[in-house]
Amino acid sequence: MSDHYAVIGNPIGHTKSPLIHGMFAEMTRQNLVYTAIEGSLGGFATDVDRFRQAGGRGMNVTAPFKLDAFAYATEHSDRARLAGAVNALKFDGDRVLAENFDGIGLTRDVVHNLGCPLKDKRVLLLGAGGAARGALLPFLAQGPTVLDIANRTLEEAQALAQEVADLGTVRALRYAHLETEQYDLVFNATSASLRGELPPVPATVFAPGALAYELAYGKGLTPFLRLAQGAGVQQLADGVGMLVEQAAEAFAWWRGVRPQTQDVIDQLKIPLV
Protein backbone atom coordinates (compact mmCIF):
# COMPACT_ATOMS: atom_id res chain seq x y z
CA MET A 1 0.00 0.00 0.00
CA SER A 2 1.33 3.43 -0.96
CA ASP A 3 2.11 6.08 1.64
CA HIS A 4 -0.02 9.20 1.26
CA TYR A 5 1.24 12.78 1.20
CA ALA A 6 -0.46 15.99 0.09
CA VAL A 7 -0.26 19.73 -0.31
CA ILE A 8 -2.97 21.86 1.27
CA GLY A 9 -3.88 25.41 0.24
CA ASN A 10 -6.73 27.60 -0.96
CA PRO A 11 -6.88 28.02 -3.90
CA ILE A 12 -4.83 25.01 -4.88
CA GLY A 13 -5.54 24.45 -8.58
CA HIS A 14 -2.30 26.16 -9.64
CA THR A 15 -0.01 23.97 -7.53
CA LYS A 16 2.94 22.15 -9.10
CA SER A 17 3.59 20.05 -6.00
CA PRO A 18 1.90 16.80 -7.15
CA LEU A 19 3.88 16.94 -10.39
CA ILE A 20 7.15 17.64 -8.57
CA HIS A 21 6.73 14.95 -5.92
CA GLY A 22 5.48 12.47 -8.50
CA MET A 23 8.72 12.98 -10.43
CA PHE A 24 10.74 12.67 -7.23
CA ALA A 25 8.98 9.42 -6.31
CA GLU A 26 9.60 7.95 -9.75
CA MET A 27 13.32 8.79 -9.81
CA THR A 28 13.90 7.51 -6.24
CA ARG A 29 11.53 4.53 -6.58
CA GLN A 30 9.50 5.50 -3.55
CA ASN A 31 6.03 3.99 -3.19
CA LEU A 32 3.84 6.99 -2.43
CA VAL A 33 0.78 8.91 -3.56
CA TYR A 34 0.80 12.71 -3.48
CA THR A 35 -2.40 14.73 -3.92
CA ALA A 36 -3.66 18.30 -3.60
CA ILE A 37 -6.24 19.31 -1.01
CA GLU A 38 -8.20 22.54 -1.21
CA GLY A 39 -8.49 23.38 2.47
CA SER A 40 -11.55 25.08 3.86
CA LEU A 41 -10.97 28.58 5.21
CA GLY A 42 -11.27 28.41 8.97
CA GLY A 43 -11.22 24.61 8.88
CA PHE A 44 -7.51 23.81 8.55
CA ALA A 45 -7.28 21.66 11.69
CA THR A 46 -10.35 19.63 10.72
CA ASP A 47 -8.98 19.01 7.22
CA VAL A 48 -5.59 17.89 8.53
CA ASP A 49 -7.18 15.69 11.21
CA ARG A 50 -9.17 13.96 8.49
CA PHE A 51 -6.06 13.44 6.36
CA ARG A 52 -4.12 11.98 9.30
CA GLN A 53 -6.97 9.68 10.28
CA ALA A 54 -6.97 8.31 6.73
CA GLY A 55 -3.29 7.41 7.13
CA GLY A 56 -1.60 10.52 5.73
CA ARG A 57 2.12 10.70 6.51
CA GLY A 58 2.96 14.31 5.77
CA MET A 59 1.86 17.54 4.08
CA ASN A 60 3.21 20.55 2.31
CA VAL A 61 1.41 23.74 3.32
CA THR A 62 0.88 26.76 1.12
CA ALA A 63 -1.11 30.00 1.34
CA PRO A 64 -3.13 30.86 3.31
CA PHE A 65 -2.47 28.12 5.87
CA LYS A 66 1.21 28.50 6.87
CA LEU A 67 0.28 30.24 10.14
CA ASP A 68 -2.46 27.68 10.82
CA ALA A 69 0.11 24.93 10.34
CA PHE A 70 2.42 26.61 12.85
CA ALA A 71 -0.39 26.64 15.43
CA TYR A 72 -1.37 23.03 14.64
CA ALA A 73 2.12 21.55 15.07
CA THR A 74 3.40 20.13 18.34
CA GLU A 75 7.13 20.53 17.56
CA HIS A 76 8.87 23.23 15.49
CA SER A 77 12.32 23.47 13.93
CA ASP A 78 14.37 26.62 14.54
CA ARG A 79 13.68 27.69 10.95
CA ALA A 80 9.94 27.34 11.41
CA ARG A 81 10.07 29.12 14.77
CA LEU A 82 11.92 32.13 13.33
CA ALA A 83 9.67 32.33 10.29
CA GLY A 84 6.56 31.97 12.45
CA ALA A 85 5.19 29.93 9.57
CA VAL A 86 5.31 26.31 8.38
CA ASN A 87 5.45 24.85 4.88
CA ALA A 88 5.89 21.16 5.73
CA LEU A 89 4.41 18.82 8.34
CA LYS A 90 5.34 15.27 9.29
CA PHE A 91 3.01 13.07 11.31
CA ASP A 92 4.38 10.58 13.86
CA GLY A 93 1.58 9.25 16.05
CA ASP A 94 0.40 12.15 18.19
CA ARG A 95 3.44 14.23 17.24
CA VAL A 96 3.17 16.82 14.46
CA LEU A 97 6.61 17.99 13.39
CA ALA A 98 6.85 21.33 11.60
CA GLU A 99 9.47 22.68 9.22
CA ASN A 100 10.01 25.65 6.95
CA PHE A 101 12.17 24.73 3.97
CA ASP A 102 11.57 27.88 1.90
CA GLY A 103 14.79 29.61 2.94
CA ILE A 104 17.01 26.55 2.67
CA GLY A 105 15.50 25.78 -0.74
CA LEU A 106 16.17 29.35 -1.88
CA THR A 107 19.75 29.23 -0.63
CA ARG A 108 20.45 25.91 -2.32
CA ASP A 109 19.06 27.18 -5.62
CA VAL A 110 21.26 30.28 -5.50
CA VAL A 111 24.47 28.65 -4.29
CA HIS A 112 24.36 25.25 -6.01
CA ASN A 113 22.16 25.70 -9.08
CA LEU A 114 23.02 29.28 -10.02
CA GLY A 115 26.60 29.20 -8.77
CA CYS A 116 26.31 32.41 -6.74
CA PRO A 117 27.87 31.98 -3.28
CA LEU A 118 26.64 34.28 -0.52
CA LYS A 119 29.86 34.02 1.47
CA ASP A 120 31.65 37.38 1.75
CA LYS A 121 29.00 39.03 -0.47
CA ARG A 122 26.71 41.99 0.04
CA VAL A 123 23.12 40.72 0.17
CA LEU A 124 19.87 42.70 0.09
CA LEU A 125 16.50 41.24 1.04
CA LEU A 126 13.47 43.30 -0.03
CA GLY A 127 10.54 42.84 2.34
CA ALA A 128 10.18 41.72 5.95
CA GLY A 129 7.28 39.27 5.70
CA GLY A 130 7.18 35.50 5.93
CA ALA A 131 9.33 34.88 2.85
CA ALA A 132 12.09 37.12 4.20
CA ARG A 133 11.86 35.57 7.67
CA GLY A 134 12.31 32.09 6.22
CA ALA A 135 15.46 33.13 4.36
CA LEU A 136 17.37 34.71 7.24
CA LEU A 137 18.86 31.68 9.00
CA PRO A 138 20.03 29.92 5.80
CA PHE A 139 21.45 33.20 4.47
CA LEU A 140 23.37 33.96 7.67
CA ALA A 141 24.78 30.43 7.70
CA GLN A 142 26.48 31.23 4.38
CA GLY A 143 28.53 34.07 5.89
CA PRO A 144 27.67 37.17 3.85
CA THR A 145 29.65 40.34 4.53
CA VAL A 146 26.46 42.41 4.60
CA LEU A 147 22.86 41.28 4.99
CA ASP A 148 20.38 44.14 4.78
CA ILE A 149 16.58 44.07 4.98
CA ALA A 150 14.73 46.92 3.25
CA ASN A 151 11.05 47.40 4.00
CA ARG A 152 8.39 50.08 3.68
CA THR A 153 7.80 49.86 7.42
CA LEU A 154 11.20 50.21 9.08
CA GLU A 155 9.96 48.89 12.43
CA GLU A 156 9.09 45.51 10.90
CA ALA A 157 12.57 45.17 9.42
CA GLN A 158 14.16 46.25 12.70
CA ALA A 159 12.17 43.67 14.67
CA LEU A 160 13.24 40.94 12.26
CA ALA A 161 16.90 41.99 12.40
CA GLN A 162 16.76 41.98 16.21
CA GLU A 163 15.50 38.39 16.27
CA VAL A 164 18.70 37.15 14.63
CA ALA A 165 21.11 39.63 16.25
CA ASP A 166 22.93 36.80 18.05
CA LEU A 167 23.60 34.97 14.77
CA GLY A 168 25.07 37.76 12.65
CA THR A 169 24.87 41.40 11.68
CA VAL A 170 21.65 42.27 9.90
CA ARG A 171 20.77 45.88 9.13
CA ALA A 172 17.25 47.22 8.72
CA LEU A 173 16.82 50.00 6.15
CA ARG A 174 14.11 52.07 4.57
CA TYR A 175 13.97 51.91 0.78
CA ALA A 176 15.13 55.53 0.66
CA HIS A 177 18.39 54.50 2.34
CA LEU A 178 19.29 52.30 -0.64
CA GLU A 179 20.18 55.24 -2.86
CA THR A 180 23.85 55.03 -1.81
CA GLU A 181 24.14 51.22 -1.46
CA GLN A 182 25.07 48.44 -3.91
CA TYR A 183 24.70 44.68 -3.49
CA ASP A 184 25.99 41.51 -5.12
CA LEU A 185 22.71 39.64 -4.63
CA VAL A 186 19.28 41.28 -4.45
CA PHE A 187 16.21 39.21 -3.52
CA ASN A 188 12.65 40.42 -3.99
CA ALA A 189 10.76 38.78 -1.11
CA THR A 190 7.86 41.24 -1.29
CA SER A 191 4.42 40.42 -2.71
CA ALA A 192 4.63 43.31 -5.19
CA SER A 193 5.22 41.10 -8.23
CA LEU A 194 2.06 39.12 -7.51
CA ARG A 195 0.20 42.37 -8.15
CA GLY A 196 2.34 43.39 -11.12
CA GLU A 197 3.96 46.14 -9.06
CA LEU A 198 7.53 47.20 -8.36
CA PRO A 199 8.92 47.67 -4.84
CA PRO A 200 10.40 51.18 -4.46
CA VAL A 201 14.00 50.09 -4.98
CA PRO A 202 16.43 52.24 -7.02
CA ALA A 203 18.03 50.77 -10.14
CA THR A 204 21.44 51.74 -8.74
CA VAL A 205 21.21 49.05 -6.04
CA PHE A 206 22.71 46.36 -8.30
CA ALA A 207 26.51 46.04 -8.16
CA PRO A 208 28.42 45.01 -11.31
CA GLY A 209 27.91 41.27 -11.86
CA ALA A 210 24.94 41.15 -9.48
CA LEU A 211 22.23 38.50 -9.30
CA ALA A 212 18.59 39.67 -9.21
CA TYR A 213 16.31 36.98 -7.77
CA GLU A 214 12.51 37.14 -7.82
CA LEU A 215 10.99 34.78 -5.25
CA ALA A 216 7.72 34.59 -7.20
CA TYR A 217 7.79 32.05 -10.02
CA GLY A 218 6.07 31.55 -13.34
CA LYS A 219 5.48 35.29 -13.82
CA GLY A 220 8.08 35.84 -16.53
CA LEU A 221 9.92 39.16 -16.49
CA THR A 222 8.34 40.83 -13.44
CA PRO A 223 8.67 44.58 -12.79
CA PHE A 224 11.55 43.84 -10.39
CA LEU A 225 13.42 41.71 -12.93
CA ARG A 226 12.72 44.27 -15.64
CA LEU A 227 14.25 46.97 -13.43
CA ALA A 228 17.33 44.81 -12.93
CA GLN A 229 17.60 44.04 -16.63
CA GLY A 230 17.38 47.73 -17.45
CA ALA A 231 20.17 48.39 -14.96
CA GLY A 232 22.43 45.99 -16.87
CA VAL A 233 22.05 42.91 -14.65
CA GLN A 234 22.90 39.82 -16.67
CA GLN A 235 21.89 37.12 -14.18
CA LEU A 236 18.15 37.06 -13.54
CA ALA A 237 16.25 34.27 -11.77
CA ASP A 238 12.76 33.57 -10.51
CA GLY A 239 11.64 31.26 -7.72
CA VAL A 240 11.07 28.04 -9.66
CA GLY A 241 14.38 26.65 -8.42
CA MET A 242 13.45 27.58 -4.87
CA LEU A 243 10.10 25.81 -5.32
CA VAL A 244 11.73 22.59 -6.46
CA GLU A 245 14.57 22.67 -3.92
CA GLN A 246 12.27 23.21 -0.93
CA ALA A 247 10.13 20.33 -2.22
CA ALA A 248 13.25 18.14 -2.37
CA GLU A 249 14.07 19.05 1.24
CA ALA A 250 10.58 18.03 2.35
CA PHE A 251 10.78 14.81 0.34
CA ALA A 252 14.12 13.92 1.97
CA TRP A 253 12.70 14.74 5.42
CA TRP A 254 9.78 12.40 4.82
CA ARG A 255 11.47 9.59 2.90
CA GLY A 256 15.15 9.66 3.90
CA VAL A 257 16.39 10.08 0.32
CA ARG A 258 17.03 13.36 -1.50
CA PRO A 259 16.06 13.41 -5.18
CA GLN A 260 17.98 15.15 -7.94
CA THR A 261 16.38 18.46 -8.86
CA GLN A 262 17.87 19.88 -12.06
CA ASP A 263 15.69 17.94 -14.52
CA VAL A 264 12.57 18.99 -12.60
CA ILE A 265 13.64 22.64 -12.56
CA ASP A 266 14.36 22.53 -16.30
CA GLN A 267 10.88 21.10 -16.98
CA LEU A 268 9.08 23.76 -14.94
CA LYS A 269 10.99 26.96 -15.68
CA ILE A 270 9.72 29.44 -18.24
CA PRO A 271 11.78 32.03 -20.14
CA LEU A 272 12.22 35.36 -18.36
CA VAL A 273 11.05 37.54 -21.25
What are the residue boundaries of the structural domains of the chain, listed by start?
3-100, 103-240
Q: In CATH, what is the architecture of 103-240?
A: 3-Layer(aba) Sandwich (3.40)
CA distances from 75 to 47, 63, 97, 163 (A): 19, 21, 5, 20
Q: Looking at residue 168, what is its pLDDT?
A: 87
Q: 73 and 86 in contact (C-beta within 8 Å)?
A: yes
Q: Looking at residue 244, what is its pLDDT?
A: 98
| Fold agreement between 3-100 and 103-240 | yes
Q: Which of 66, 90, 121, 269 is catalytic?
A: 66
Q: Looking at residue 10, what is its pLDDT?
A: 96
Distance, CA of 212 to CA of 208 (rounded, Å): 11
* pLDDT tens across the length of the chain (273 residues): 799 999 999 999 989 999 999 999 999 999 999 999 999 999 999 999 999 999 999 999 998 999 999 999 999 998 999 888 999 999 999 999 999 999 999 999 999 999 999 999 999 999 998 889 889 999 999 999 999 999 999 999 999 999 888 888 899 999 999 999 999 999 999 988 888 899 999 999 999 999 999 999 989 999 999 999 999 999 999 999 999 999 999 999 999 999 999 999 999 999 887
**Distance of alpha carbon 61 from its chain centroid, rounded?**
12
Does the annotation mark 66 as catalytic?
yes
CATH fold of 3-100 reads Rossmann fold (3.40.50)
pTM, rounded to two decimals: 0.94
Residue 53: count other Cβ atoms within 10 Å of its Cβ: 8
